[in-house]
Amino acid sequence: MSSTSFSNGWKYDVFLNFRGSDTRYGFTGHLYKALCDRKVRTFIDDEELQRGEQITPSLLKAIEESRIFIPVFSKNYASSTFCLDELVHIFACVKEKSRLVLPVFYEVDPSHVRHQRGSYKEALNSHKKRFNDDQEKLQKWRNALSQAANLSGYHFKQGKEEYEYDFIAKIVKEVSQKINRTLLHVADFPVGLEYRMQDVNSLVNIESGGVHMIGIHGVGGVGKSTLARAIYNLIADQFEGYCFLNVREYSMQNGLVHLQKKLLSKTIGEKC
């Protein structure tokens, strides 16, 4: 885990993963411009890799240096082994540093991505013939697709009474809120904190999709609150609602009812 976990030290705010022939000069191009107009540092690959070429080290590095990933799942997305390889690398980075993935399902049913149906089934069957001697690669692609489709994302479908520019505006708004979130102060000299963060983060297991409660205990002054703030900074972006409350201090000053209202207001975004 790098020191960027404690700061906004990413080179890119957003990395766009997409099938160029499907959406480069349409939806993804419009999304890229909208993000740039809001001063969101966005990486978009300007070159379409040809069959037989490998993903360049610079492209892999761009993924590693990005804070938020937006895979745009379109009809022919899965026919590109490069899109799939990028997606696998994205989730490897997410697992290491707990970053955010915001999937966009553009004119495709999320269940087709999740269970590899329709054009996704056809594409994977085609890859199976080509990579029959590399079942591990095929399984990594399937796992990455399923993992992405299980996340909360955006689904655009023509005729759903929504203009594309309004749909894009919603995505840009969420991204802007995420990258402009004020981080809690952790510590001036967080010596040894990263290792403890790794231990606690391994217990969070966000990918399981369940509800988790983790207790951090110890004598006063050993850094329990410091560790809690660091973990909050690390994973908060992966949730639709989040709140950090010092229960003892806040309840003593304002009472339990006010604390409950504060919690609801922060997590659901409405005044109580």
Give the Cα separation of 74 and 182 in Å (integer).
Answer: 34
CB atoms within 10 A of CB 177: 11
The CATH 3.40.50.10140 portion of the chain extends over: 3-179
| Average pLDDT per 10 consecutive residues for the chain, totaling 272 residues | 47 96 96 96 79 76 96 98 96 86 97 98 95 93 97 89 92 91 76 78 70 84 84 77 80 83 76 51
- Burial call 151-170: b when 16+ CB within 10 Å, e when fewer: bebbebeeeeeeeeeebbee
Determine the topology of domain 3-179 in CATH.
Rossmann fold (3.40.50)
Q: 150 vs 109, 170, 208, 234, 235, CA distance in Å?
A: 12, 20, 10, 21, 17
pLDDT digits (tens, 9 = 90+) for 147-169: 999 999 999 998 777 899 999 99
From 86, 107, 122, 194, the catalytic residue: 86
Cα–Cα distance measured from residue 69 to residue 234, given in angstroms and rounded to the nearest whole number: 15
User: What gap in Å lies between CA 218 and CA 38, rounded to an integer?
Assistant: 44
Residue entry with tokens 């002054």:
221
Active site (annotated) includes residue 86: yes
